[in-house]
Amino acid sequence: MIEQLLPEVMDIDHLTDREQREVMVVKHDAVLGPIERFIRRAFVWAIVTRSSDVHIEGRGDKNSPTVHIHIRSPKGMVNMEYHGDHGRHFESKLFAVTGTPQGGSTGMTVSTRFSMALPATYARKHGLTPREDNPYAIDMRVEYIKTFDGFCFICRLLDQQRRPALDELNLSYTLLHAIKSAAEEPSGLILASGPTGSGKTTLLNAVLGYLNDGQRSIVTIENPVEVRLRGAGPIKQLQTQGEFTFARALRSTLRADPDVILIGEIRDEETMRIAIEASKTGHLVLSTVHANNAHETIARLVDLGADPLNIADSLKLVLAQRLIPTYAGSLHERTLTQDEVSWLTLNGMPGKTKILEVDSHEKTGKVAMIEAIQMDDRMKQIIRAGNMDPTALYRVAKDQSQYESLASAGVRGIESSHCKLKDCMVSLESNTDAQTNPNMRIRLASEHNVSLSEVAAAIDATYVSRDNKGGDSVEKILSKRKGGLCVAAV
């Protein structure tokens, strides 16, 4: 039985017939019923386990393909296969739930979506938090691709109820202060960079949520729209397609009385020019750009046709984000490999042969590593001078209080968030400039023989004290601490 392939979904069969139909309507015949019930259970299991994606792929014989089901759960990918005679029905069922026409008119690729809703009592039983007594609604963003030997559906789960607020992102006090300060500006440009799946959309939507106070007119321009915004104030969400490009949508938006504009991605010169124009004429603009790190993001704007003077005048904050897995278990000391020592040295953290690291393969979730650059006077001065070299930009950013490179943020994650060095080496770009010019946090860790986590805590404590009109300096706080085992200390 195909239904036996899936990990247990508690109590779904105990729902009433009406409740099960509201989750997803399925056939009851002996042949196709088990497949449709499996599809329903697979998506319900993905929802209750807080998984991010469901892949359903048919390969082989056109009429009875082998179907591979992959669910990207917080603990890793869960893989299943169906080898029966009716694998083609997986494709038919997903076309049906998404309302996609089937036949010769179906394109090679189709971007679509569908929704599911779990009963509120069932959702609560599984640790989910529906709004009041409403059903727990989930949007599925679906990308269909016709492959050379079959089909593929990639379904991204967009859980509106689990969308974290800015204060719930577990950011340091210093970084949170920098983000809020930039967001509270009446105009300007805030940029986030990172690959697909790095959490930059979640981060920018958390900033939007912070600004969504009923007093600001908010417009989003995306492809596709991922988060449905709700609020008392005016909210307009636009989805680009065909001739309705980002640039065209943005030009129209400027006539729609916006205070805050979210652009899904700046990918061409025209969109870049209009975004900067908007940010200089009384609008706060949030967007994403493809770049490897925060200082390269600034240099990337010139490649997109932005004038350095306009960048200096409009840009407020740049964020580069990656997500790194976390693991269960306790920390254990181990010896670093030569490759690990080389990676740490390359990123300005030499001199250690051992590390305290979690000793487990059980994943518990992911944590964000964020490199942030504020546009202070020194940064604006170097940009206005036309010096957009990433090395020059880094040498200014490295002394900002909120700044930590992606690599040093990863090492801090090993110390405090149960991350692993191997994941950091794979997912976090190195910064070779750090080898000869380490950032302020690495220097403080080395000078005081403390961990990067202790440095971060001291900087946060200093900022909290400063906001409360008192307190010690970072150096004074660190001088009171004793050194421990830490990869950042020399």
* φ, ψ dihedrals at 395, nearest 5°: -65, -25
User: What distance, in Å, lies between the first and last C-alpha atoms of the chain?
Assistant: 59
* φ, ψ dihedrals at 460, nearest 5°: -60, -45
Q: 3-state class of 24 per DSSP?
A: coil
**Is the CB of residue 209 less than 8 Å from the CB of residue 165?**
yes
Dist. CA 107–CA 388, nearest whole Å = 43
pLDDT of 35 higher than 90: yes
The alpha-helical segments, DSSP class H, found in 147-194 are: 173-183
- Mean residue pLDDT of the chain comes to 90
Distances in Å between the alpha carbon of 281 and those of 105, 187, 188, 246, 276?
A: 45, 7, 9, 19, 9
Task: Give per-residue pLDDT as tens, 361-391.
Answer: 888 889 999 999 999 999 999 999 988 889 9
Q: In this predicted structure, what is the pLDDT of residue 452?
A: 95
DSSP designation for 13: G
Label residue 6 by pLDDT band (50, 70, 90): low
Task: Kindly state the average pLDDT of the residues 152-167.
Answer: 90
Q: In this predicted structure, what is the pLDDT of residue 417?
A: 84
pLDDT of 290 higher than 50: yes
Label residue 489 by pLDDT band (50, 70, 90): very low
Q: In this predicted structure, what is the pLDDT of residue 482?
A: 55
Q: 3-state class of 214 per DSSP?
A: coil
Label residue 22 by pLDDT band (50, 70, 90): confident
Label residue 484 by pLDDT band (50, 70, 90): very low
pLDDT of 464 higher than 60: yes
Q: Which of 428, 478, 470, 434 is nearest to 453 (CA)?
A: 478
pLDDT of 205 higher than 50: yes
pLDDT of 319 higher than 50: yes
Q: In this predicted structure, what is the pLDDT of residue 485?
A: 44
Dump strand ranges (E) for 159-247: 188-193, 218-222, 235-239
Distances in Å between the alpha carbon of 285 and those of 293, 300, 352, 378?
A: 20, 17, 43, 23
The tokens describing 401, both together, are: 């209080």
Which domains occur in the chain, in start order?
2-158 (3.30.450.90), 166-479 (3.40.50.300)
Q: How many CB atoms lie within 10 A of CB 332?
A: 11
Task: Kindly state the average pLDDT of the residues 322-327.
Answer: 94
Dist. CA 379–CA 400, nearest whole Å = 10
The tokens describing 142, both together, are: 């679906």
Task: Kindly state the average pLDDT of the residues 286-301.
Answer: 92
Does the CA dihedral 355-356-362-364 come out positive or negative? negative
pLDDT of 412 higher than 50: yes
- CA 137 from chain center: how many Å? 21
β-bridge pairing 150-158 and 136-147: antiparallel
**Is the CB of residue 87 less than 8 Å from the CB of residue 39?**
no
Q: Report the share of the chain in percent with pLDDT over 70.
A: 96
Task: Give per-residue pLDDT as tens, 225-274.
Answer: 888 888 889 999 999 988 899 999 999 999 999 999 999 999 899 999 99
